[in-house]
Amino acid sequence: MKELDGRIALVTGASRGIGKAIALKLASQGVHLVINYLRKRSRAEETAVEIRKCGVRCLVLQANVAKDDQVEKMFGEVEKEFGKLDILISNAASGVLKPTWELTTRHWQWAMDINARALLPLSQHASKLMGRGDGKFGGRILAVSSLGAVRAIDNYAAVGASKAALESLVRHLAVDLAPCGVNVNVIQAGAVDTEALKFFKNRDEILDNTLKRTPAGRLITPEDVADVVLLLCNNKAKMIQGQTIVVDGGYSIRA
Ligand SMILES: NC(=O)c1ccc[n+]([C@@H]2O[C@H](COP(=O)([O-])OP(=O)(O)OC[C@H]3O[C@@H](n4cnc5c(N)ncnc54)[C@H](OP(=O)(O)O)[C@@H]3O)[C@@H](O)[C@H]2O)c1
């Protein structure tokens, strides 16, 4: 039997990209899924079809993670459908790509609300539904961050700062939730060629440079990130708490 068989996971922003790969990876291990999206219902439904082919249940829920009332409603649906939650993956993100001198308060707030603050209500609701199973698992909360949390990337100030705040929040949640058996960690990913990258004017340059500088000799994929999610959900990772795990093929250690 697979270790995570029968567990319940909620993945935000799971209709496409990295979130979709994470949801599919968990489904391949027998985990039942709640996939969240914001705008593109058809993409989320397509992903749900793929997930159900793994033989697990999949609930599709629209909610803007930055809106507390929508998040509350989403967890109400999760409780009604499954009665508990074992794994929360906070993956949804958005942002405005502009140089610092063009950023407005609205841009800043947008990135902070979706990318950083959302983890707080998500974790508050999720942790209430965790530990309701056999008592052996507790729960896992994983947030997806980027190298821009600790590095200056062109036009990335608002998103980078929000990811830095996210990583700090993870450490504080980890301290508060560890006594309840909930592990909270963050995966800091290098550049991944998803639809999100199309918003960067210098997308090709980013991908070329990343490839050249990555010791592993290739770009990381959504599946690479999903593999690390699985690793951190494993019982053997239960003493990894409040950590930022970098998944970038060695890119960031290069001088
Ligand atoms: N791609 C990269 O190079 C890279 C690198 C490092 C880290 N990351 C991180 O990895 C995560 C996923 O990135 P990605 O490249 O896979 O993104 P993506 O392809 O742009 O997908 C974003 C997903 O988030 C959903 N979403 C956006 N805003 C939302 C909101 N307010 N509430 C709920 N759902 C929302 C989208 O749903 P709809 O389509 O329905 O709007 C979509 O499912 C993000 O946290 C990102 O910062 C990405």
CATH fold label, 8-247: Rossmann fold (3.40.50)
How much distance in Å is there from the Cα of 95 to the middle of ligand 1?
Answer: 10
Ligand 1, CB within 6 Å, residue ranges: 12-13, 15-19, 36-40, 43, 64-66, 91-94, 114, 144, 146, 189, 191-192, 194-197
Ligand 1, closest atom to CA 159?
Answer: 47
Eight-state DSSP code of residue 254: -
Kindly report the pTM of this predicted structure.
Answer: 0.98
* Domain assignments of the chain as residue spans, ordered by start: 8-247
Token couple for 5: 């068989």
Give which of 113, 81, 68 is closest to 10, Cα–Cα. Answer: 81
Q: Tell me, what amino acid is at 238?
A: K
Ligand 1, closest atom to CA 92?
Answer: 24
How much distance in Å is there from the Cα of 135 to the middle of ligand 1?
Answer: 32
Q: Are residues 152 and 139 in contact, defined by beta-carbon separation less than 8 angstroms?
A: no
- Reading the chain (255 residues) residue by residue, the pLDDT tens digits are 789 999 999 999 999 999 999 999 999 999 999 999 999 999 999 999 999 999 999 999 999 999 999 999 999 999 999 999 999 999 999 999 999 999 999 999 999 999 999 999 999 999 999 987 766 789 999 999 999 999 999 999 999 999 999 999 999 999 999 999 999 999 999 999 999 998 888 999 999 999 999 999 999 999 999 999 999 999 999 999 999 999 999 999 998
CA distance to 68, 113, 221, per residue, from 96 (Å):
21, 12, 23
Catalytic residue set = 156, 163
Q: Rounded CA gap, 229 and 139, in Å?
A: 13
